[in-house]
Structure 1
Amino acid sequence: MEIDIKAELVRLAEPEYAVFSRRLLPGTENVLGVRLPLLRRLARRIAKGDWAAYLDTAGDGSFEEVMLQGMVIGAICAPPQEVLARTAAFVPKIDNWSVCDSFCSGLKLARTHPEPVWEFLQPYFEDPRPFAVRFAVVMLLFYYIDAQHLPRVLALLEEVHSDEYYVKMAVAWAASMCYAAFPDETLPWLQAARLDEFTYRRTIRKICESHQVNAEQKSHLRALERRRQG
């Protein structure tokens, strides 16, 4: 059964939720106000049908329309090269943190085919588009913080140089998760890394907010931050 996507999104929209969402998405004006669980449910319906026709013709007129496309790409059953081709076509549409992070969380191909996805991500770390870089960094933190990839993840994070707030925050988020999972391995890197001052401080803050990090580790990191500032 064909779905009138725009009509369905309008039916699911909540005007009050749209106002709330716009506050969280600076610069994103056309927000209908559809909650993410409802978008995911719709994406799964589309993925079970003629998803290729949908992706080939989908409109980009609202935040939800773009978000839905990303969710469909994550939900389709297709060969890895097809999913990566659809991903490459989608990345230029990412223009806010919410679409970026939700897309990454649903792109489970990285879990089943980690090395092809890893190679696919590499050019995006040097992409001039801030949200393309954030896409690559957030993919690291969702799928590659493990013993096998940790040294390469830390090396990539250190080489991300950007003045963009959402890139810096993604690097801090990823670095904090590396520490939470592998504190002994990450601490020397954190002490020596060439992170800019803003990203370094945000990394320490995020680590100290983590329930995975104990009080002694947090105290040591705060002292480390004070010494760096001094």
Structure 2
Amino acid sequence: MKEQLFELAEEDYRKFAAALIPNINNVLGVRLPLLRKLAKKVAKDDWRTYLEHAESEYFEEIMLQGMVIGCVNTDIEDILRYTAEFVPKIDNWSVCDSFCIGLKFTKTNMQRVWLFLQPYLLSDKEYDIRFGVVMLLDFYIHEEYISSVLQLLDGVKNEGYYVKMAVAWAVSICYVKFPEPTLAYLKHNSLDDFTYNKALQKITESYRVDAETKTMIRSMKRK
């Protein structure tokens, strides 16, 4: 597998990708669509043996493992076991967010995955929490979950930059999709100033929010 990744790597893309992900120096430079194509191929083969023996020396090796987990066809408890084994390998926002968006089995197992996510949201580890938060924003910003999502986001207390950015991002998506309950939340919350103001900023950057509303949101900024 490592040889295949080396063959797919591009030096120019390596420089580009590495610049986007701070503190990571093990990027080969394989484009994500090529990794997804490879993941689908592995998932149709002996994926269990692959995951059992997969190496994690390079960024793309870790990314590929996460993508394979999102592609496999097995029962929910089996997938969640592999998911739980993978989460500790996450050490950057890119692997985290790509992994989360690939876990589409969540859509047909909403309540089970919701329960699975709770310990991650209570963790003290930056990327455990980001995993939980990004899963919420990818799959749970729906009418039946919005109140619970806002409550969970408000309960996240961690000084990690990538946690705060994820919470701000999630709150902004909540506002875009459900402005009334989210506005009420923004008026009464326990977010730290950085996360709160960043959430407001992200709301005002959305093309789905009109100019008048953006002015109102800007006026809510904490000084």
TM-score normalised according to structure 1 size: 0.96
Identity of aligned residues (%): 52
Q: Is the 8 A contact 2:35 2:64 kept in 1?
A: yes
Q: Hey, what's the Cα distance between the residues in 2 that align with 1:70 and 1:53?
A: 14
- Number of the residue aligned with 1:41: 37
Within-5 A mapping of 1:139-178: 139-178=135-174
For structure 2, list consecutive stretches of 5 or more residues without a partner in the other structure.
none
Deviations 1:1-48 (A, max 9, x none): xxxx11100000001111111111111111000000000000000000
- Number of the residue aligned with 1:201: 197
Q: CA deviation at 1:215?
A: 1.1
- Number of the residue aligned with 2:177: 181
1:67 and 2:55 correspond: no
Deviations 1:177-213 (A, max 9, x none): 0000000111010111111000011000000011111
- Number of the residue aligned with 1:99: 95
Q: Hey, what's the Cα distance between the residues in 1 that align with 2:24 and 2:201?
A: 27
**Divergent runs of 4+, >2 A:** none
For residue 220 of structure 2, give the secondary structure of its aligned residue in structure 1: helix
Q: CA RMSD in A?
A: 0.6
Q: Is the 8 A contact 2:124 2:158 kept in 1?
A: no
- Number of the residue aligned with 1:9: 5
For structure 1, list consecutive stretches of 5 or more residues without a partner in the other structure.
none
Q: CA deviation at 1:214?
A: 1.1
Q: Hey, what's the Cα distance between the residues in 1 that align with 2:54 and 2:25?
A: 19
Q: CA deviation at 1:127?
A: 1.2
